[in-house]
Structure 1
Amino acid sequence: MPRTVSYSPYLFSERADFGTTKSILNENSGVNEPKFVKQFSLHVYPQKRTLDMQYRALGTNYQNAITLVVRHTHRINDQLEVKYAGELYKIINISSDDSANYQTYDFLTLQRIDGESGLNG
């Protein structure tokens, strides 16, 4: 029987906002501007990479990515964006645990979105 991973609740001390970017009219200029619109927030645990994980990520899309751990929820999908630690990220991978265990976790791999260009950095 596989061993289930359990995280202590104190590790989930940080919060991340999940939402989408929408065009919002700027009242001062009359121009539509992209703005992050929050849909919900979750407590997160930023998982640290091991040295082996860092070496394997070199030269891939995951090189500058971060991983956040959240309690399992069906609200998360790859169309959402994540605002975490003052930066905006897109979800590039969701490793979801939808087993029947009591406490399950989802691992979200995120890549930062640059503000002006929308490109990943």
Structure 2
Amino acid sequence: MPKTVEYSPYLFNEIADFGVTKTVTNPNSGVNEPSFVKSFSLHVYPQKRTLDMQYRSLGTNYVNAITLVVRHNNRLNDQLRVKYKGEEYKILNISSDDSANYMTYDFLTLQNVKELGGNA
């Protein structure tokens, strides 16, 4: 039986907002602009990359990606956007653990929307 990784609760000391991007009319200019609309928030643990992970990501879409760890949550999907530390991110990959274990975690690989060319 594989050993499950347990993270201490104190590691999840940062908060990320999850939501969607909707078009909202700017009241000052009357122009339609994309805007982040929050659906829910979760405590997250920013996973640090190992040197091996850095080397493997070279030349891929994951070069500047970040990984956040959250407690397993069924509301997560790759259509959501994430607002973390004032930046908006697109979810590239969700490694979800939906096993019957007591403590399970999901690993979210995120790419900054600005690096994807705006509203990708």
Same fold (TM over 0.5): yes
1:87 partner letter: E
Runs of at least 5 residues in structure 2 that lack an aligned partner in the other structure:
none
Aligned residues: 119
1:1-121 equivalences under 5 Å are 1-114=1-114, 117-118=117-118
Q: SS at the partner of 1:52?
A: helix
TM-score scaled by length of structure 2? 0.95
Identity %: 76
TM-score scaled by length of structure 1? 0.94
Counterpart Cα distance in 1 of 2:56 and 2:35: 34
Counterparts in 2 of 1:106 and 1:2: CA distance versus 1, 3 Å: same
RMSD between aligned residues: 1.3
Q: Which runs of 4+ in 1 moved over 2 A?
A: none
Counterpart Cα distance in 1 of 2:112 and 2:28: 29
Runs of at least 5 residues in structure 1 that lack an aligned partner in the other structure:
none
Counterpart Cα distance in 1 of 2:89 and 2:104: 23
